[in-house]
Structure 1
């Protein structure tokens, strides 16, 4: 895969860049047209100034007694920009700063914009330096460019705000999907979404519906297959247990392992079907003692905290399956005695601690994932996580300093409110 295909990109950034380029190009085009218009208007205005100056000079000469005095006004060798030249009719015409003009009117000569007007016994020539006129026009046009900078900043800010509001429904939809637990296959709500997101939400809902149908089929197959296998496997084991054939009896451990796998699959199907959704109450102490009696607690040290009973809000069967899986997992994968401790939670409910030494470094959470050499099914932790989620319990697991530690926080059972018949007489 090339680096170009791996590089991430953002619709928001790309859209912002394209809008900015489009607006900048539009502004540059508008400035070019405005500059042409401004150049025409400024030249027209300056020509009117030349004409007004020439007419004023003519009126002054005609109203003045005596002869016309030739002169140059406004000549500055450094940066002469405006020149008024008065000539006496019939006198030789100087060639500087522009050449001799033969007729009245406007002329462009030698870098000057000249207006020649003939009056009585005099010739008036008024001129602007064309470089100065262009400089004035560029100064006016540069003001537009200076105004673009704050407008660009305002545009960027406005685009960010507008895009943030425009993409908010998409981000909310993304956050809602990302925050869902893995088992949540409910449809994505389409109400309130903009028209552009309806196809996306509809496609997601169709995909979720297909995944849900496949999971239902998988659960049904696991439950049916496990249920159908229990009876024949039990019958085969009973027959082999009565057999005197040594080879036949050697298969009993394999049948026991197969029985455990079938039981685990049944437990998984029950947990995925919603077993343990907060029903109860269940006596945690009693259930734990029954489990230890069934499994033979030789490798387990049980500390009940001197509690006679602890009522928790959980289905008794689901709680028994949860604890059995965690206890058996600790016994099988541990390398020493397992500590099982029960204590009441500071608020309500109870906490169960299962601790054992181990050579492992991490828990395998994925279904059917097992350590090398394990004889288990790889479903114990998966079933425990499913049941804990269903009954509202919280499981915390960690391995540190060669010790595996599992903590289960169980919600307390809410006691029913006392009725009028339960009150003691006064």
Structure 2
């Protein structure tokens, strides 16, 4: 599993702090253990003094006279010290009765810890020879550093370290977020870019550690841009070179078709080498090839990256729609299509020839796929912050699941009737991207046909009398 860079940095920075905290706790324990060992030796050194405290009284009975060192030890820490002198059977002769225990089985000193009266005691026992025989001397101390460390480990060692680690984690998180901010800004800059924007990313504003990544991205963008530019130039050159011979071929085929109709009218005997039907097919194929070459040229010219630096000019959308209607009227008449206008005066800054190409492709598509007797309407009107261009027909339309794909190049809905190359809407979408927008596909009025709209936004959008005044000034 690959973790995020922020989490990895947090783990790499916090893990050493945890290890240092555990190491510090271990050192604290070792220090307490050393102190406890010294205290054990101190208790053991006091046992001979306790044994020598037994003397014979006037009546011959044993009397306990504590030496100053032992008396000071027991008096200064009266609440945390205790002693006992026991016989070989474990019966306490002098001292605290709770220190009575089983007979001592070993000859050397015996150390152990014991819980009594809610306190943990460190107890040392050893057999000593006295004037009254062998007796067992016992000293107890409740100030064992190991026990104190065990009780205070949470409050004095681990808790401060955990608080420190928590504060460090917050500080590190804040510092990591600040340190990674240039990367996040770089990601935001790249994500906001359109697929056509292959310009280099600014390196001067990036930290030194991020500049190699920016430089690598710029090299990749330059390679992609060069490849895309090469493909665009190839398509443009090929389409441009094909236009002249295709135009000549189409002119000859048109002349041939007219001559064929004069020599061999429909229904009459033909004297041409080819039947009129085949000449008409050849004529249609020539027209489609010519249209494909023109569309490829328009597609290469409408490249968003190439048009980004071109200046915008005021465009009268109403006049543009009227001109498009005049150009497409003959084609609509041949297909018995009612081509109409629903326009309002509106002017905005745009690329005039690109919008003309866009509108021509949309109207051509609508006429091509609308059945005879249908209706195609061209609309333009001002809208909030811009203008709206729209072409609506009452043809078969496009299923909602296919509307995103018909904007791809050379894609056609399966089962579509009529001639086409699958480039009309792709060219229109490319032109929409140049203007910072995209095509909106929807059903036509009454759920029939297809309505293709383009919302254009600009810094200067005028409608009505203001639009006319601006055009006259221009």
TM range (shorter): 0.7 to 0.9
Q: Which runs of 5+ in 1 are unaligned?
A: 1-6, 74-79
Following superposition, the deviation at residue 265 of structure 1 comes to 0.8
Which residue in 2 is equivalent to 1:138?
A: 150
Q: How does 1:239-254 map to 2 (within 5 A)?
A: 239-243=252-256, 244=260, 245=274, 246=276, 247-254=278-285
2:203 match: secondary structure? coil
Which residue of 347, 355, 361 maps to 1:325?
361
Residues 138-287 of structure 1 mapped to structure 2, 5 A cutoff: 138-143=150-155, 144-243=157-256, 244=260, 245=274, 246=276, 247-272=278-303, 273-274=306-307, 277=310, 279-287=312-320
1:343 aligns with 2:381: yes
Shift of 1:210: 0.7
Q: 1:368 aligned to 2:410? A: yes
Contact 1:276 1:314 in 2 (8 A): no
Partner Cα distance (1:322, 1:16) in 2:
53
Which residue matches 2:84? 85
Aligned counterparts of 1:295 and 1:276: Cα–Cα separation in 2:
31
Secondary structure class of the residue paired with 1:210? helix
Distance verdict in 2 for CA 1:31–1:240, change over 3 Å: same
Alpha-carbon deviation of 1:84? 1.8
**Partner-residue secondary structure (3-state), 1:282:** strand
Instruction: Report the equivalent of 2:440.
Output: 396
Compute the displacement of 1:274 (Å): 1.5
Once the two structures are TM-superposed, the CA of residue 158 in structure 1 deviates from its matched residue by 2.9
Distance 1:9 1:351, change over 3 A: same
Deviations 1:263-322 (A, max 9, x none): 1011112111328945332322222122112212453443334x4x43332333222111
Distance 1:126 1:172 in 2: 74
TM-score, normalised with respect to structure 2? 0.69
Per the TM alignment, residue 188 of structure 1 is displaced from its structure 2 partner at its CA by: 1.5
Query: 27, 30, 36: which is aligned to 1:33?
Result: 27
Assess if the C-alpha contact under 8 Å between 1:51 and 1:115 holds in 2.
Answer: no
CA deviation profile, 1:110-159 (whole Å, cap 9, x unmatched):
66335999999999956126997643342233442344443343343233
CA distance in 2, matches of 1:276, 1:81: 90
Structure 2, gaps ≥5 residues long: 72-78, 91-99, 114-122, 261-273
Q: TM-score, normalised by structure 1?
A: 0.76
Distance 1:65 1:59, change over 3 A: farther
Could you tell me how far apart the structure 2 residues matched to 1:301 and 1:295 are?
8
Task: Tell me if structure 1 keeps the 8 A contact 2:338–2:376.
Answer: yes
- Cα deviation 1:2-39 (Å, max 9, x = unaligned): xxxxx664232234334444432332233222211122
More displaced 10-residue stretch of structure 1: 40-49 or 185-194: 40-49
- Equivalent residue for 1:293, pick from 315, 318, 326: 326
Q: Residues 316-355 of structure 1: CA distance to partner in whole angstroms, max 9, x if unpaired?
A: 32221111112223333456422322223355x5322222
The CA distance in 1 between the partners of 2:375 and 2:381, in whole Å, is 20
Query: For the structure 1 residues 277 and 255, does the alpha-carbon distance in structure 2 shift closer, same or farther, using more than 3 Å as the test?
Result: same
8 A Cα contact 2:47 2:139, kept in partner = no
1:382 shift after superposition: 2.5
Residue of structure 2 equivalent to 1:76 = none
Cα 1:281–1:256 shift into 2, 3 Å: same
Residues 278 and 313 in structure 1, CA contact (< 8 A), matched pair in contact too: no
Secondary structure, in 3 states, of the residue corresponding to 1:303?
Answer: strand
Contact 1:334 1:359 in 2 (8 A): no
CA 1:331–1:240: 2 relative to 1, 3 Å: closer
Indicate if the aligned counterparts of 2:380 and 2:389 stay in contact, CA closer than 8 A: yes
1:383 is matched with: 427
Which of 313, 316, 331 is the matching residue for 2:349? Answer: 313
Which residue matches 1:113? 124
Q: 256-265 or 107-116, which moves further after superposition? A: 107-116
Q: Is the Cα–Cα contact under 8 Å of residues 327 and 354 in structure 1 kept in the other structure?
A: yes
Aligned partner of residue 377 in structure 1, secondary structure: coil
